[in-house]
Every structure is written in C-alpha cells, then in structure tokens.
Structure 1
Amino acid sequence: MSFQVFQYMLLRIFSIGSFAGTTGQQLGHYAATIRHHDGVFYVICVYLGAPAETGVLYTSKNPYDESAWSDAVTFNASSIDPDLFWDDDGKVYSVLSGITLQEINLKTGDLSEPVNIWNGTGAVYPEGPHLYKKDGFYYLLIAEGGTELNHSVSIARSTKIQGPYESYENNPILTNRGTDEYFQTVGHADLFQDGDGRWWGISLATRGGPSWKFYPMGRETVLFPVTWERGQWPVLERVRGQMSGWPLPSRTRNIPGQGPFNSDPDVYDFRLGSQIPRNLVHFRVPAKDSFSVTPKGLRIVPSRSNLTGIPGNSLLSGQNGLGFIGRRQTDTLFTYSVDLDFNPISVDQEAGVTVFLTQMNHIDLGIVLLNSDSSSKNHQSPRLYFRFRTEASTMDNIPVIPGNPPPPKTVPVPHSWIGGKIRLQVKTLNETHYEFSAMPLSIPGAAMKIGIASAQLVSGGSGTFVGSLIGTYATCNGAGSASKCPDGGNLYVNRWRYTGDGQIISAIDG
C-alpha cells in the first residue's frame, strides 16, 4: 500500500459516520481497522448500538471510489475492536478485545469459537489488538489502561498464533502516562510499512497536557517512526509535538479521489450545480432532501428536533435526523464564518452556528424568531433575536471560572440588519475559549460580539471519544407535528469559510 493511500484511508476511516439511529451519543461504527491483502482493501469494525454487537466488514479494490465499496458482511462479534490477519497457511483470523482469536470467513462472516490468547500485562481494558508476523514470530500489539490518562500500548509475541504469548519485559512499549507531555492518552496503536519498507506507527492521542481540561478536538490520530530490527522487539518513537525519524514522502496531490485534503481551508460558495463537499458531515443520518444546493445556496431544511433534542421522545430526540451540517475542528486556532439568508415566519424558527461535540455538549449562536419581552412597545409581537446558549449537561471537568458555562443570552437583531444576509462567526481567542459574533453584509464594518465560551464545555463530557464539529444548523425547536416543521424557516448558506489559524503542539513552545 502506498503511503498516500494509507494517509487518505486513515482520514476516511477515523471519520466514519456513526450516531445514526442509535440512542447513545457515541454509538455506531467503532475502531475501524484497514487492511490490504491480494489487491483488496478491507475495513472491519463493530457497530455499537445495534441489538447486539454487530461486526461489519467492507471491501474494495479501489478505496478512492465510494461506489466501489461493498455492502457490509456482518458477523456476530464477541467483543469490540476487531482486526484481520492472514496467516501463511491461508487461514484468516480476527483478533478482538479480550484478547481473543477467531477464524473468520470473509464471505459469510462465520466465526470459529473465540480463544483467549493473552490477558495483557495486568492493566485494565486490554483492547485494540493487532497481529503481525515477522521473522518467525507472531507479534500481538494491544491497548491497555483505559482510554484516558493511563492509556498505553503493550506487546507480546509467540511462535504459534494461539500462543502462549511472551510479554515484552519493557512494556508498555508506548505511552505518555505519568508525564507532563502536551500530547496525552496515547494508545490504541497500529504498525505498518511504507513503500520503501520503513516501519511506521499510528496511535490515538489527545493534545491538552496532563491537566486534561481543554481538548475540543478529542482524540486525534498521530504518526510516528518505528525501528524494527530482525528478530527484535519494535522500538516506537515517543509521541511528541515534534518528532524526528524517517523522511516523509514528498507532498503530492497527484492521487485519485474527490478530496478535499484534510488540511485545506474551506472556501465554499455552494453555486448551483456544485456538490456538497465531502469533508462536511452530519450528526445522525439526515432526513431525505434536508440538504441541497439551490440557486440561493446550500438549503438546510429545519428539523423539528433542535441540536439537543429530547431524550426518549422518538420524534424530537434527533434520532430521525438533525438540520445540521459541519466539519471537524482540525486546528487548535481557527476562524469559521457563514453567510445566512434566513427569514423565519413562525416563532421558534432558528438558524445559526455551533461548536458541536454531541447533543449533550455544544455551544450555539442562533438567529431566532421570538415573542418580544414585556418591555417592548409591541408586546408579544415576534421579532428576531440573536440567541447565544450552551448545552453542557455532561462534563468531565467541572468549570471553576465564574460564569462558565455562561447563561443563555438574547440580543435583538438591529432593525437595520433585518431582511439582509447576516454573517455569523466562530473564532478561537486562544486554545481555551471561543468567541461568537455577528455582522450584517449590508453594513460593512458593523459587528456585534455576542458571547464567549470555554472549550471545556466541548472537551470530554458525553463525547470522550470524538472531537468537535464546527457547523451550521436550522430548527423549529419542536414546533409542527410528526416530522415536519411549520412552513418557512429554510436556511440558505451561500458563503462558508473555515481557516486554520494555528496548531499548538507544546504547552511551552506553542
């Protein structure tokens, strides 16, 4: 597999959509692994939230062509984090968390009885296993210690696939636990060779330091060099903000696929005939025809459920789709803005921008039609407001700063702004805070800073395994009936911009 193919697939796999019709906020496709064998790419993982832990296996001879991927072959997974391994005798195995080994039929999904092959070093949650065969040994790489600050990687080997496995005396072979490194929670690693035969490793990690309070991008995928001499244990370069090692291949965009590249800024105007860019995603599968490119730009049909939803309410929980589209926060510092053409006609119709982790953790700035307060001369007559509010019902780190999370805030939209397009903007002030502002396109230079919120509100909480999405939404906040909102309230977006302004890689150097 070429290095470029691996990079492309890595980005696609770690952003496989989940959250479809599941009740949980982090359920869906979990811990996908990609393998390449005899010209075929395989992606295997477990779908959590189905009636049972359902394993799914996808194949393709052309990973760049979305239509070339097969429908899923399903199997009854005995655990999570399945891997695929082809032995020299032609048998194919899946090794899963536990750590158990099973033969698997790639065409039918049939599995043999699971056999426990290693219990790890004694740390909690042995999981994320991967098998390799090198120099007459079967090497078994696993994650241990949980996915938080004690996350680590351990390795064992055997001359027989079913063991017994000898644990490496210097385990863990990779971790940042107990250090003051900016990158923490290092674990769930995998190893591979590039086209020149050099070994590399990837793992998950979280930037934010041992205080582990501000990490809105969640667990990220990091790349590091590996030295693996014949007959020896591999040596994994420690994860740091800056590392040295094998030379990286020359940068090139001469590869197939429709992109965009993960590090590119978003410069989208949604002109008629254009497609919705492939890096824009949804949280839960949207209702049919909720998103389309029209002569007025990207149309977002509002959902009855707002971004939070009502748990247990089948119509308003959000499980039937949210009027939300976003992109991953891929930079510590960024600026995001959209131009909104929004003319609501019914109370509670709303459109805006959000930093969204899950339905239980998000920060929003919306334009909403509300009945005016009692001090208005036109008491109870609807008018437009900016509404800034946060949802942070689940948090790992209780805020200690007064006013954090900030209380909901409504500000009347100036009369001179009404009827024209309004630009909403989210900008990072630093690695710990977001600023939300609004400005009219008709009055150059006019702008209102509406609210500031801590990145702690979208760090961990109900989304410990995922990072934040930055995007735009439309909702009628429960009005209407069945799955339909009242007429009106469609949102049109004809200018979408996201620019990375900087990455922080060290608590000292920035």
Structure 2
Amino acid sequence: MKSFRNPIVPGFHPDPSCILVDGTYYLVTSSFLYTPGVPIYTSQDLIHWTQIGNVITRPSQLSLSKCTIRQGTKNCGGVWAPTIRYHKDVFYVVATCVFPDKEFADHSRWENHVWSTKDPHSRDAWSDGIRFDFPGYDTSLFWDENNDDRVYIQGALYWRVKEGIAQFEIDLETGASLSGEPKPIWSGTGRPIPEAPHMYRKDEWYYLLVAEGGTELDHCATIARSRSVWGPFEECPNNPIIHAASKDAYFQTIGHADIFQSPDGQWFAVALATRDGRINFPMGRETVLIPGQWEPGSWPVFNARVESVMKTSADSLRPVPSTNENILGNFSRTEVDVIWPHNLLRLRNPDEDAYQYVDGSLHLWPSAKGDTLDGRFGTPTFVARRQTAIECTTEIEIIPAKDPSVIAGLSVYLDFESHIDLVLTRSGTGPGFEAHIRQRTLGTGSSDTASVPVDSGALRAVAHEDRYEFFGWRDGAWVSIGTGLAKDVSGGFTGVLIGPYAEGPASGNDDHAKTTVKKWVYFEAA
C-alpha cells in the first residue's frame, strides 16, 4: 500500500472538482473575492500538484466589483464552487458568482457562467463566460453519452427559499435552456442544505452526488441513483458516503466532493475539509483526497477515516516537500508586459496602475480611490499568497513611501473585518522607522501595539498553530513587535492570505507615494 499526505492542495482551496484527461489530473477550487479567479492545478500522481494558471484572468470574463461579504456574517460572495469537465477536446468550467447583499429570493443574487478552452496550460486561455439562468448556485455539467450527448446543468436551489437539486438541458453555445425551467430532481436525504451536485453515469445508472449538512461540522456527501437522468432517484442505503470520522477527528467539515477514477482503476474523491474546524483553522477549507471503491452495479464506498497520512493501492505516490518560495523571483517578463505568478491574489478587480514590477522589485501605490483593507468593497493595494502550512514564515523588505501619510506593511488577511497587519512607518523623530501591530479583528481583547523603533523595512510574520508572531529588524537581529491570535482570522468561506499592502490618501502614482517591496519570501517548517 502506498501512502500520501492530506491535504493534497493545502491552504484556502475549497469546493474542489477534479478530472483525468490523457494521464493528467486537472483540479479547480473556489476563489470568492480574489483575482485571478478559479485556480487550476495539474498532477500526474494526485499528490504533487502544480498551479498552471487561473480560469478568470481578465475583467471581461467576470466583474467582482459588486461582490462582498454580507453584513454581519461571514457569507462571502464572489466565485463559488467551480466544476471542471472535459468533452470532445474541450475543457469546461462552470461556476456561480454570488452577490450576498441581494435578497435571498432575488434570482440576480446568483450569476452562473461557463468558460471553455482547448489548452488550459496557455496564458489567458479561457474564454469569456457564457452566462445562463439558474436560480441558485454550485452548478455542474454532465454530458449524457447515452442520449445523443445532450448536456445538462445541475445546481442547488437556495435552501433559504427552496431546498433541493434542480436540472435543465443547456445549449452551451448560448446558455439557453432546452428544457424549460430547471426541474427539481432530488431533495437529498433529509439533512439540511443539499448542494454541490455532480452527475455521473456508470453501469447503466445515473448517480447524483451532493453535499449536505452545510459547510460546517455536519458537512458530508450523499449519493442517489436512477435509470433516468431526470430521476426518480433512490438514496444509497449507506449515506453519507463521505464525512468526518468523528467530532474528535483531525479533519472536520468534510464534504463538497467530486469522484473520479485513476488509470489503474482506483477510485478517488476530492473533498473540502478543515483542520479541526472549531477554533484555530486560519487556512480555511482545504482539498483532501480520499481513496475508495466502486464495484460494478453497486454504490461507491469512501468510508475510510480521512487522515493526514493515508494509504492507497495506487502506484507512484511520493512525499511532498515543504515550500520555500522567493516570490519576487517568480515574476517574469515578455517583450510587452510582466507575467505575475499564478498564486498571487488581489481583491476583486485590482487597479493595475497601483502595481509595477521593475528589476526584481514590486512597487505599490495606495488605491486611487482611497480603498483600504477595512473596506467591504473596493480594491485596496494588497497582493498576497495563501498560507499553506500551519508553521510558516513570511519575510518582506520594503522601502516606505516618502509621503508620511502613506502606510505600508505585511498583512495576515482573512477578510475586511478579520486581519492583523504589521505596519511600518517612517519615524516622526529621526531618520529610522517604527513598526506596530494593527488589529482589525472581532476577537475579544485584541488591540493595537505601541510602536517599536526598527532599523529597516525588514518585516517578518511567523505562523504557529494558535498565533502569529510579528518581528522587525533592529541592531542586526529580529525584534518582537507583537502577536495575533489564529482564531481571530479563522472562519467563513475563505482562508488566510499573507502579503504586502500600501494605504493612504489618493495621491497618484508619483515617487513620494511609492512603496517598494525589495524582498518577499515564504517558507514552511520542514
């Protein structure tokens, strides 16, 4: 038996969908409020994953400008639950853009799109989206090869209005329905919030996999089957087929799964999970791999306990090395523009004029509209990578703006009301600098720290299981600036990002307002 380590795609990577095409696995996950959207990964062995790009890379494909987090909740809008599929030499991704401020029964709360490409490895390869009407979210694609290759959309009706999974036949060229209004096909097992449907055809049966229980501790995956794509569907007697082993297990909230088969016949599921999922889980919902069996004419079985280290009969599974990344070294240039690393994220539709990469350094200017990390909307000047290990370190070195009204630093960011910032300013009393912690969290007892004199713009954030430690540089050594709690940046739909930011009054892109990032490295404990 071979062993592998979960999560296979660590950090903020929820709602995974995976397919196998010509010996390569392709996996996508949700991206919510961030650009570029819908990261796409490939692997030859299901363990070593490489991000080859993102589906949504330009505003013409989708605008996130009106997406936010619903006031008073952690209900985050933006791009939810992509499904990736392949048919006749074309890759397709379908997903829902959610506007959570809109009323629950307002169909415009949900904006569903499908994008396509023949070469997902190519830069900016994915088409502009074809929009289609569906009164809900978590939409998926299924081609019925037994019925003239007709293609169907399955999706979740919003549970606050009407629970259940609905379906319609779609014209992928136009997005039009070929079967009228979406028809309810299964309401689940009686657990709350049936969602995340995927349809499969196997052994003359149509199998419908869904998530139930809500994306918290009761999350799970259930399955039903029918002889017709339209139902009626009979429930598996062994539901749920994917779930946390117990409330004490390391991985919790397991659900929102997709099922596929390896070339050697082994069945797998990918699913989202959180590590513990109660107090400290700043990386949010991550992607785990679960081996299973699916005998002919029977039901799939995935009841193995999901562990950090799991075993499978599949071949060629190897250990995954820890990450050590020089982020500024991952930028590249063509004759006409700069190519950003695939894994760097910015909020909504960023102002490209606020960023400039030149000769190994990244220059940042405050948002021309005065947007900050505290805003429910807008595009603050902030660029970051996902935290992908419990124990990790991020170091940057910046040259602060000459304008004293501009502040910059390093943010541990979950959302607009849950972030911890290491702030660097020019000293008001001399030629040096000062650093302090700015707490923007809902945690009790969290507060800003006093400013500490430092010698340079070198800043460090060190993540531990229950806290973050922040440091500045003075007298040839790192000095403590303060700490923040991991529980204060845990929860919701996303996960922590860590990276540099710049804020201040709208001032244009002049040198006085420019913050320069000279160094940016991320490394994980071995």
- CA drift at 1:367: 0.8
Q: 2:465 aligns with which of 428, 431, 440?
A: 431
Q: Deviations over 1:445-490 (max 9, x none)?
A: 3322001111001101xxx1111101110111xx247xx5886231
- CA drift at 1:343: 3.6
AA of the residue aligned to 2:388? T
- Quote the residue 2:520 is aligned against: 496
Note if 1:344 corresponds to 2:412. no
- Quote the residue 2:191 is aligned against: 123
- CA drift at 1:194: 2.1
Task: Report if aligned partners of 1:337, 1:425 keep a CA contact under 8 Å in 2.
Answer: yes
Note if 1:46 corresponds to 2:74. no
Percentage of pairs with the same residue: 36
- CA drift at 1:412: 4.3
Q: Deviations over 1:98-131 (max 9, x none)?
A: 2111101111101232111111111110000111
- CA drift at 1:169: 1.3
Q: Deviations over 1:363-406 (max 9, x none)?
A: 10011258x5xxxxx7xx9984312111113xxxx65xxx4x2x
In the alignment, the residues of structure 1 paired with residue 418 and residue 63 of structure 2 have an alpha-carbon distance, to the nearest angstrom, of 15
Note if 1:240 corresponds to 2:259. no
Q: 1:228 aligns with which of 294, 313, 336?
A: 294
- Quote the residue 2:485 is aligned against: 454
Summarize the alignment of residues 49-128 of structure 1 with structure 2, pairs less than 5 Å apart.
49=99, 51-87=108-144, 88-89=146-147, 90-97=149-156, 98-111=164-177, 112=179, 113-128=181-196
Secondary structure of residue in 2 paired with 1:20 = coil
Q: 1:142 aligns with which of 202, 210, 229?
A: 210
AA of the residue aligned to 1:291? Y
Q: Deviations over 1:83-110 (max 9, x none)?
A: 1111121211111112111101111101
Secondary structure of residue in 1 paired with 2:136 = coil
Summarize the alignment of residues 68-467 of structure 1 with structure 2, pairs less than 5 Å apart.
68-87=125-144, 88-89=146-147, 90-97=149-156, 98-111=164-177, 112=179, 113-176=181-244, 178-208=246-276, 212-236=278-302, 237-249=304-316, 264-270=323-329, 273=333, 275-295=339-359, 297-303=361-367, 304-309=370-375, 311=376, 317=377, 319=378, 321-347=379-405, 349-369=406-426, 384-393=433-442, 403=445, 405=446, 407-414=447-454, 417=455, 421-428=456-463, 430-439=464-473, 443=475, 445-460=476-491, 464-467=492-495
Task: Give the TM-score taking structure 1 as reference length.
Answer: 0.82
Secondary structure of residue in 2 paired with 1:133 = strand
- Quote the residue 2:35 is aligned against: none
Secondary structure of residue in 2 paired with 1:356 = strand
AA of the residue aligned to 1:424? L
Q: Deviations over 1:415-473 (max 9, x none)?
A: xx2xxx42100012x31111000115xx5x3322001111001101xxx1111101110
In the alignment, the residues of structure 1 paired with residue 477 and residue 92 of structure 2 have an alpha-carbon distance, to the nearest angstrom, of 53
In the alignment, the residues of structure 1 paired with residue 172 and residue 316 of structure 2 have an alpha-carbon distance, to the nearest angstrom, of 33
Q: Structure 1 306/289 Cα, relative in aligned 2: closer, same or farther at 3 Å?
A: same
In the alignment, the residues of structure 1 paired with residue 356 and residue 373 of structure 2 have an alpha-carbon distance, to the nearest angstrom, of 20
Secondary structure of residue in 2 paired with 1:457 = helix
- CA drift at 1:246: 3.0
**Greater strand proportion:** 2
- Quote the residue 2:498 is aligned against: 470
Q: Please, what is the CA RMSD of the aligned residues?
A: 2.7
- CA drift at 1:9: 4.6
- CA drift at 1:69: 1.4
- CA drift at 1:8: 5.5
- Quote the residue 1:6 is aligned against: 25
Task: Report if aligned partners of 1:346, 1:486 keep a CA contact under 8 Å in 2.
Answer: no
Q: Structure 1 296/490 Cα, relative in aligned 2: closer, same or farther at 3 Å?
A: farther
Q: Structure 1 299/19 Cα, relative in aligned 2: closer, same or farther at 3 Å?
A: same
In the alignment, the residues of structure 2 paired with residue 66 and residue 264 of structure 1 have an alpha-carbon distance, to the nearest angstrom, of 24
In the alignment, the residues of structure 2 paired with residue 103 and residue 185 of structure 1 have an alpha-carbon distance, to the nearest angstrom, of 32
Secondary structure of residue in 2 paired with 1:6 = strand
Question: Unaligned 5+ residue runs, structure 1?
Answer: 253-260, 312-316, 373-377, 503-510
Task: Report if aligned partners of 1:272, 1:293 keep a CA contact under 8 Å in 2.
Answer: no
Q: Structure 1 246/149 Cα, relative in aligned 2: closer, same or farther at 3 Å?
A: same
In the alignment, the residues of structure 1 paired with residue 322 and residue 63 of structure 2 have an alpha-carbon distance, to the nearest angstrom, of 25
In the alignment, the residues of structure 1 paired with residue 209 and residue 360 of structure 2 have an alpha-carbon distance, to the nearest angstrom, of 52
In the alignment, the residues of structure 1 paired with residue 321 and residue 354 of structure 2 have an alpha-carbon distance, to the nearest angstrom, of 25
Question: Unaligned 5+ residue runs, structure 2?
Answer: 1-19, 30-37, 42-53, 57-61, 70-75, 103-107, 157-163
Task: Report if aligned partners of 1:9, 1:63 keep a CA contact under 8 Å in 2.
Answer: no
AA of the residue aligned to 1:497? V
- CA drift at 1:33: 0.5
- CA drift at 1:331: 0.6
- Quote the residue 1:505 is aligned against: none
- CA drift at 1:208: 2.0
- CA drift at 1:295: 3.5
- Quote the residue 1:22 is aligned against: 66
Secondary structure of residue in 1 paired with 2:138 = coil
Q: Deviations over 1:246-298 (max 9, x none)?
A: 3254669xxxxxxxx99642213458857432211112221122222113711
